[in-house]
Every structure is written in structure tokens, then in C-alpha cells.
Amino acid sequence: MAQAILDVMPGASTGTVQVSDPLNFWAGKRVEPRQQKNAEPVFEPATEGAFRPDLLFEYRWFRPLEKREKIAKLEVINNGKSITEALVDIDIAWQCIEYYAGLAGALAGQHVQLPGGAFAYTRREPLGVCVGIGAWNYPFQIAAWKSAPALACGNAMVFKPSPFTPVTAVILAEIYKEAGVPDGLFCVVQGGAETGTILCQHPKVAKVSFTGSVPTGKKVMEMSAKGVKQVTLELGGKSPLIIFKDCDLENAVRGALMANFLTQGQVCCNGTRVFVQKDIMPQFLEEVVKRTKAILVGDPLLDSTRMGALINKPHLEKVLGFVSQAKLQGARVLCGGERFVPSDPKLVNGYFMSPCVLDNCRDDMTCVKEEIFGPVMSVLPFDTEEEVVQRANNTTFGLASGVFTRDISRAHRVAENLEAGTCFINNYNISPVEVPFGGYKMSGFGRENGQVTIEYYSQLKTVVVEMGDVDNYF
């Protein structure tokens, strides 16, 4: 069995993954859970092969790999995204850790002079124990985005990954340990809603940073409110990407693909409502469809693959359901939107679908209003800037937005008028760690990345110093 796996592993999907080391990390080491109830199987999205906790063959194939490759491959096997993307995710994660390690030494307060020689100063102090709750779309990167600023500010963090992607967060814990982080400062606890609830309600937890869906985010906020805990919420989106006729069309098409098809479209900040000025609609559609059809879907561990498998079967069915509903509501499928079965026999049960472009969309359609979280782009025509900004803002979400134009004044005017936490001008979905990321409206609040995130993981103490006598009124 082990030999068979060794044979297929280099460069291709596994079919089975055995995880024998415990995935919880507590007080500086991997530990078995104290109690194991409601355990659910985890499947490899590309093959539907189960992760087998019972066999001794543990990550052996990964051992000789440098850590970056090892984490990326495990991420691919667990999440289904392409290896090309997973490697970038891991790079973004270490860049985030280096960035906040650098900022840690720059944490500083303010000195305020007061009358009579008195003065005050402020100190940035940690909050205490912070909880991070992660989603399944960027398992390792989310763990880094939350823990790096938390630890840099002097907090401890207990991180709960999504139960669909339990595998890589514990490696981050091992890396921190190796780098000298004291035992217990970063812990990993596996589990689902019940575990998340316990963490949010725990009286010793000072803050919860959550990434996931809006309904769960609301619950996290409610629970945290009861304990007056601080909260950061990174929730969903239905972001607009606005393409004006004066754009560089080649780049606009590339931007639309980046805005829709990373991680099989399972990205919270995706620009899934693509508004295209009517005059260039035919050229845009021709080019975007041509390139979407050319996206190589298949074994996510192969370097040539550009799109892997969706996270699980119910989610794949939900996304395909959105496409069927869109058709019923009058949308035209220009390409994709169907279950995809790769020719490799190992992958026939994988959760693949062909990336989809929908034309003939209207603002009132479900596919345009709701977050699909899959590779489905809805294209909408528009006439004027005023009209498109109003339509772009007509949503309860506000995570991201984008605009393609060569008119510099228009670009900044539109960026100012869009109600979203990020606006990309002439690009989409790049996320340098130096730049704050977070939502407006129901997409959440608080920020990740950038200097500002220090404020979300620390509290300000004011120290007031008297240099003279106390002025006593009594």
C-alpha cells in the first residue's frame, strides 16, 4: 500500500492520504484530542480519497521536501487548489510573518506634554489570548494572517482551522516552535461549530478573529458581544469589477480571470459581478470566453494545471445549482458550468467543474446577488459611470471592487465612490502583506495585513505622570 502511494505521489494526486500524527497542537507539541466525538471524514477534493487517520504511513513522502513545497503539496491535497497557487499562498504566509516580526520592534506609543511639566504617554499592550477561526479556502495563509500580527503584538493565539482543511495549520505551529516561540503561545485546536462556539464563549479569550460566511460571522459576533470581546470579521462578498471602454482590454480580461477563477472561484474578495461598458461587450466576451475555455482543469498537483477541484461534493453541487438557477432565470452560459471528469482514472470522483461565464445577466438574478463561491463569472452590461457605480453599490456586501480604465481621474473617482474595503485599479486580487484587507457593510470589519492590523491585536494604555503637587479640590 505504502509503496503504491510512493509510486503515484511525485507530481500527481494521491488517491489516499494517511495522517497518523495528531493535528492538534497544544503546549508545544502535537497532541491527541482529549475526546473525539462527531468525527467526520475528510476527503481529498481531487480524488474523493479519504484522509485515513489509521495507517502508519505518515507524510513520509513529504519529509525530504523543503518546507515550502511540503506545505504547498499538503495544502493542494487537502484543499484541491492548484500547486501553482498553493506555492504563492505559502509565500504570502511567510512574507506576512516576516512583516509582522519586523513591525513588532516598531510598536510605539505617543508622548503628550501637559501643563506644569506633567506629561502622559501611551503604550501598546497585548489583548491576551486571541482566537483565530479559519475558513477552508486559504487554510495555511489564513492561519498566518491571523497569528503573525497576534503574536507580534504579544498575544497568544488558539487557532481553529476549518474541519474541511485540518492538515496544515499544525505545521505552522511547528515552524513557530522551531523559530523560538514559547510553548503554548500558538495552539491549534481541531473541530467544527461546537469547538468554535466553546472558543468564542471562553471567558479567558479576549478577541476573536474570524474568516468565513456571513451567517457564522454574525453568530461569532453575538457570542463575543456577550463577553465584550473584540472581533475581526472577514466575511463573504459579491464584489463588482467595472470595465470601462477606454481600458486596456487585454489587461481587463486578465483582471476578470484573476477576479473570478483563483482557488476554483472560492475566494471571498472575488469580483464576480463583471460590469462591462456596452461598447466593448462583444470583444470582451469573445476574449474572456476564449481564455476561460483554455483554463486547464485537472490534477492540482501537476504544474501545468490551472484549476483544481472544489472543496467538497455538497459545495460542488451548490455551485452547479447556482448555474442551473441562473439558466432558469434567463442567463446564457457562454462556457463551462458543468461537472468536469478528468481522463485520469484516479480523478473521476474528484469535485471538478468547468469554469463558467454567464452572459445576459440582470441585477435581480440570484447569480448576481448571492455569493456563489465557485468558478462562475456573471457579466453585466452598463452605459454610464454614474449608473454602474450605483448598481455596483447595490449590495449588502462590501469586501472588494475593481475598475479598469485609462482615465486616471475616473479611476480615482470610482474608487472613492465604491462602497468596499478595497478597490483595485487596473488589476485584481493581488494581496501584498503591507496593504490592509477587510470589508465594508456585511463583509465584516477590522482589517488583516498592513500596519493598521496592529491596532486590532493590541490595546492602548495611557500613563499620566504628574511632576508637581496634586491639585486637591477637597
Ligand X SMILES: C[N+](C)(C)CCCC(=O)O
Catalytic residues: 234
Q: Which does 271 bind (CB under 5 to 8 A by kind): ligand X, ligand NAI, none?
A: none
With CB atoms as reference, the residue minimizing the distance to ligand NAI is: 196
Q: In which residue are the cell numbers 520592534 written?
A: 105
Could you tell me the smallest distance in angstroms from the CB atom of residue 140 to ligand X? Answer: 11
With CB atoms as reference, the residue minimizing the distance to ligand X is: 431
Could you tell me the smallest distance in angstroms from the CB atom of residue 235 to ligand NAI? Answer: 5
Q: CA dihedral defined by 14, 20, 23, 27, rounded to 10 degrees?
A: -150
Q: Which is nearer to ligand X, 210 or 382 (CB)?
A: 210
- The side-by-side arrangement of strands in the sheet containing 273-277 is 332-335, 356-359, 376-382, 273-277, 240-243, 400-404, 422-425
On whether the CB atoms of residues 272 and 374 are closer than 8 A, the answer is no
Sign of CA dihedral 218, 220, 221, 225: positive
Q: Residue numbers of the site for ligand NAI (CB under 6 A)?
A: 133-137, 160, 162-163, 192-193, 196-197, 200, 211-213, 216, 219-220, 234-236, 268, 315, 371, 373
Q: Which does 163 bind (CB under 5 to 8 A by kind): ligand X, ligand NAI, none?
A: ligand NAI
Q: Residue numbers of the site for ligand X (CB under 6 A)?
A: 137-138, 142, 211, 262, 267-269, 429, 431
Long-range contacts of 2-9 (CB under 8 A, 24+ apart): 2/57, 2/60, 5/57, 5/61, 6/60, 6/61, 8/346, 9/61
Could you tell me the smallest distance in angstroms from the CB atom of residue 92 to ligand X? Answer: 6
Q: Which does 212 bind (CB under 5 to 8 A by kind): ligand NAI, ligand X, none?
A: ligand NAI
Q: CA dihedral defined by 355, 358, 364, 365, rounded to 10 degrees?
A: -60
Q: Which is nearer to ligand NAI, 196 or 421 (CB)?
A: 196
Q: Which is nearer to ligand NAI, 126 or 196 (CB)?
A: 196
Could you tell me the smallest distance in angstroms from the CB atom of residue 229 to ligand NAI? Answer: 12
3-state secondary structure of 305: coil
On whether the CB atoms of residues 164 and 77 are closer than 8 A, the answer is no
Neighbours of 467 (CB within 10 A): 9
Q: Which does 262 bind (CB under 5 to 8 A by kind): ligand X, ligand NAI, none?
A: ligand X
3-state secondary structure of 232: strand
Q: Which is nearer to ligand NAI, 305 or 443 (CB)?
A: 443
Could you tell me the smallest distance in angstroms from the CB atom of residue 437 to ligand X? Answer: 7
DSSP 446: S
Q: Which is nearer to ligand NAI, 252 or 323 (CB)?
A: 323
Q: How many CA atoms lie within 13 A of 380 on its CB side?
A: 25
Q: Which does 400 bind (CB under 5 to 8 A by kind): ligand X, ligand NAI, none?
A: none
